[in-house]
């Protein structure tokens, strides 16, 4: 379609405004992370640190158990991703291939579960986990994360299963392959990229999660990165800006990398999800 020159110029101005709006807080975070205390205290801050330093990173690691928190986050996120995908894949397969009442109910649950205020679920879970002595423990947190990730994992996986033509499975069946054989040797390989994308999405969600971690993890040596980050902000809301920025920047990198890898697949999943349901 032809677009007039003024219209084109307007489009570029709008695009530029969008890029600035998207980028400027992030650039400011990076800039702050590399500034020495003297520049952070100045009343006229600059975009580019005049005297860039890594001192904030060192101080951040000194002040809070960042490395340990990163390890906790990693365990929680990996555990949640693996278990969620392992449980969700078989069910998603059935939901995609059989149009039963259960499949409909499960799809409905995905939407409904998004509507809960988490506080209504966390209070009972807190009481149950407390009785099981799973407060302040990784297994407890992972359990909560798995259940929390399941609906969305199901939703994504159903889309991926639907993209695998049933004709392929039927052909294998005609060739005499049993059901399990068909699933393992025909369906699973075609589904693998979708399963990986779903697992990575569950990983990022758990890595970024804050509310459950805040409620369930009591001691600093058990806490995940997002919770530890809030310790940099003091009781009166006064923050040591440099180390805070440094730690925040580090906490973002892993999810940024994973997300960059799967972003296209998620978009595809959202598209099929939004259109087919």
Partner 1 sequence: MTSVTEAQKAVRPAPGGKERRGVMDRGAWFLVLPALIPILVLSVGPLLYGIALSLTDAQSGRTRPTQWIGTLNFTDLLHDTLFWESFRIGLVWAVGVTVPQFLLALGLALLLNEDLRLRWLARALAIVPWAMPEVVVGVMWRLVYNPDAGILNETIRDLGLGDGRDWLSGLGTALPAVVVVGIWAGLPTTTVALLAGLQNTPRELHEAAAVDGAGAWRRFRTVTWPALRPVALSITALNLIWNFNSFALVYVLTSGGPGGRTRLPMLFAYEEAFRYGQFGYAAAMGCVMVALISILLALFLVGRLRGGDEA
Residue number, 1 or 133, with CB nearest to partner 1: 1
Contact at 8 Å (CB) between 153 and 88? Answer: yes
- Helix (H, G, I), strand (E, B), or coil: what is residue 209? coil
Report the run of H or E that residue 236 belongs to, with start and end: none
Q: How far is the CB of 264 from partner 1 (least distance, A)?
A: 9
| Backbone angles phi and psi of 34, in degrees to 5 | -105, 10
Residue found under tokens 């860039």 = 52
Residue number, 165 or 193, with CB nearest to partner 1: 165
Q: How far is the CB of 219 from partner 1 (least distance, A)?
A: 15
Residue number, 51 or 120, with CB nearest to partner 1: 120
252: left (phi over 0), alpha (psi -120 to 50) or beta: alpha
Q: How far is the CB of 110 from partner 1 (least distance, A)?
A: 10
Q: How far is the CB of 14 from partner 1 (least distance, A)?
A: 6
Residue number, 32 or 72, with CB nearest to partner 1: 32
Q: How far is the CB of 62 from partner 1 (least distance, A)?
A: 18
Distance between CA atoms of residues 34 and 262, nearest Å: 29
Residue number, 9 or 192, with CB nearest to partner 1: 9
Neighbours of 212 (CB within 10 A): 21
């Amino acid at each position: 379609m032809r677009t007039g020159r003024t219209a084109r110029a307007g489009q570029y101005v709008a695009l530029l405004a969008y890029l600035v709006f998207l980028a400027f807080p992030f650039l400011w975070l990076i800039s702050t992370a590399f500034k020495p205390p003297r520049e952070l205290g100045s009343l006229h801050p600059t975009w580019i640190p005049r005297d860039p330093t890594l001192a904030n990173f060192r101080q951040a690691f000194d002040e809070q158990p960042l490395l340990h928190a990163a390890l906790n986050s990693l365990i929680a996120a990996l555990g949640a991703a693996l278990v969620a995908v392992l449980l969700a894949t078989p069910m998603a397969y059935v939901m995609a291939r059989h149009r039963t009442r259960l499949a409909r109910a499960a799809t409905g649950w995905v939407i409904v579960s998004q509507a809960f205020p988490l506080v209504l679920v966390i209070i009972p879970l807190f009481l149950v986990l407390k009785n099981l002595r799973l407060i302040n423990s990784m297994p407890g947190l992972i359990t909560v994360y798995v259940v929390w990730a399941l609906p969305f994992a199901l939703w994504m996986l159903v889309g991926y299963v639907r993209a695998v033509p049933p004709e392929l499975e039927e052909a294998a069946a005609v060739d005499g392959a049993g059901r399990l054989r068909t699933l393992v040797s025909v369906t699973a390989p075609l589904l693998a990229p979708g399963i990986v994308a779903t697992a990575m999405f569950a990983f990022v969600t758990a890595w970024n999660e804050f509310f459950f971690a805040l409620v369930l993890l009591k001691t600093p040596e058990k806490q995940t990165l997002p919770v530890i980050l809030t310790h940099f902000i003091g009781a009166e809301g006064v923050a040591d800006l440099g180390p805070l920025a440094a730690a925040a920047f580090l906490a973002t990198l892993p999810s940024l990398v994973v997300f960059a890898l799967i972003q296209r697949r998620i978009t595809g999943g959202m598209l099929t999800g939004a259109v087919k349901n």
